[in-house]
Amino acid sequence: MTTGKRRSSGVGRGGALAGKVAVITGASKGIGAAIAESLAEEGCRLALAARSTELLEEAADQLRRDFGAEVLTVPTDVSEEGQAQALIEKTESHFGAVDILVNNAGMGIYGAVDELDLGDLRHVFEVNFFGALAALQAAVPVMRRQGGGTVVNISSIVGKFPQPLGGGYTATKFALQGASGAARAELKRDNIDLVVVCPGLTETEFSQNSRISVPGAEHRQGERHALTRGVDAGRVGRRTVTAIKRGEREVYITLFDRLLVCFAVLFPGLLQWLLIYVTRYRRRRFEQAAAEEN
């Protein structure tokens, strides 16, 4: 599902990605690893970034074995100042180009808005928002010199409507959506596409890697708090690559996700009612889990 299909002005022109250089943050597992696989399948040369060196090396070896891909690994913490910039510089000096940047590194934070630890929330903003922005700011001058490129920001359907007890995470994705919309218009003259991908629930280790920001609610870590089952990360990877080729503006993975977002936009009153119901449901789940633990 997609909105705003248009002719690509970035790397996707003609649909051929073979030989293009793609940087993917958060590429050690989950959605980032799946996007890397789909790009390798297209013949891209890859720079994989994440914090865990060992997982990155394993992912890189797999891509070399399966696709004969040229892969550079760059251990990177995007929340640390200067590291996103260094990632782009290392990629350019190794491959001589940066054609595609996929800002995928991300984490969640759970807790009611009035109880969130602001230090935790700032950290999640550093990863999900400022890290992505820093990488974009480093990559754009390179893409300008090359005459074009594509930036992909991995947002979420909760970048479109609030997630109860996930308001902090929602805020990081709303911020990313807002900046992406402006940047897309600004970068048009530089022949740089900006694609936003909004996955819904996807089967990864995301909830295990998220922060819990409610005192006494540490048991939430690793739990799945969703009402539906997630899609396979490979599907998100394949859809992202199609979006890069087409230079799409905003992409949803399933019809259900798309309908949910349409519902949220068209019926804000009903949405609010639904959110109250979902909040009650999730609170009950959390309380049950806490009771079982004690």
Ligand X SMILES: NC(=O)c1ccc[n+]([C@@H]2O[C@H](COP(=O)([O-])OP(=O)(O)OC[C@H]3O[C@@H](n4cnc5c(N)ncnc54)[C@H](OP(=O)(O)O)[C@@H]3O)[C@@H](O)[C@H]2O)c1
Q: Which amino acid is at 115?
A: E
Q: How far apart are CA 182 and CA 179, in angstroms?
A: 5
Q: How far apart are CA 210 and CA 169, in angstroms?
A: 10
Choose among 165, 176, 83, 169: nearest CA to 120.
169
Give the single-character DSSP code of 228.
Answer: S
The residue (of 49 and 148) whose beta carbon lies closer to ligand X is: 49
Q: Are strands 149-154 and 250-252 parallel, antiparallel or unpaired?
A: unpaired
The residue (of 76 and 180) whose beta carbon lies closer to ligand X is: 76
Smallest separation (angstroms) from ligand X to the CB of 16: 26
Exposure letters 34-51 (e unless 16+ CB within 10 A, then b): bbbbbbbbbebbbbbbbb
The residue (of 163 and 191) whose beta carbon lies closer to ligand X is: 163
Smallest separation (angstroms) from ligand X to the CB of 102: 10
Give the single-character DSSP code of 128.
Answer: I
Smallest separation (angstroms) from ligand X to the CB of 124: 9
Query: Is 110 annotated in the active site?
Result: no
Q: How far apart are CA 186 and CA 292, in angstroms?
A: 52
Tokens read off for 285: 């789940």
Choose among 182, 183, 179, 176: nearest CA to 198.
176
Choose among 230, 217, 104: nearest CA to 165.
217
The residue (of 32 and 149) whose beta carbon lies closer to ligand X is: 32
The residue (of 122 and 145) whose beta carbon lies closer to ligand X is: 122
Catalytic residue among 169, 252, 277, 281: 169
CB 236 within 8 A of CB 31: yes
CB atoms within 10 A of CB 94: 14
Instruction: For 195, list phi and psi in degrees, rounded to 5.
Output: -105, 130
Smallest separation (angstroms) from ligand X to the CB of 35: 9
Smallest separation (angstroms) from ligand X to the CB of 84: 9
Smallest separation (angstroms) from ligand X to the CB of 253: 9
The residue (of 95 and 206) whose beta carbon lies closer to ligand X is: 206
Can you give the binding site for ligand X, defined by CB under 6 A?
25-32, 50-52, 55, 76-79, 104-107, 127, 154, 156, 199, 201-202, 204-206, 209, 230
Which residues carry out catalysis?
Answer: 169
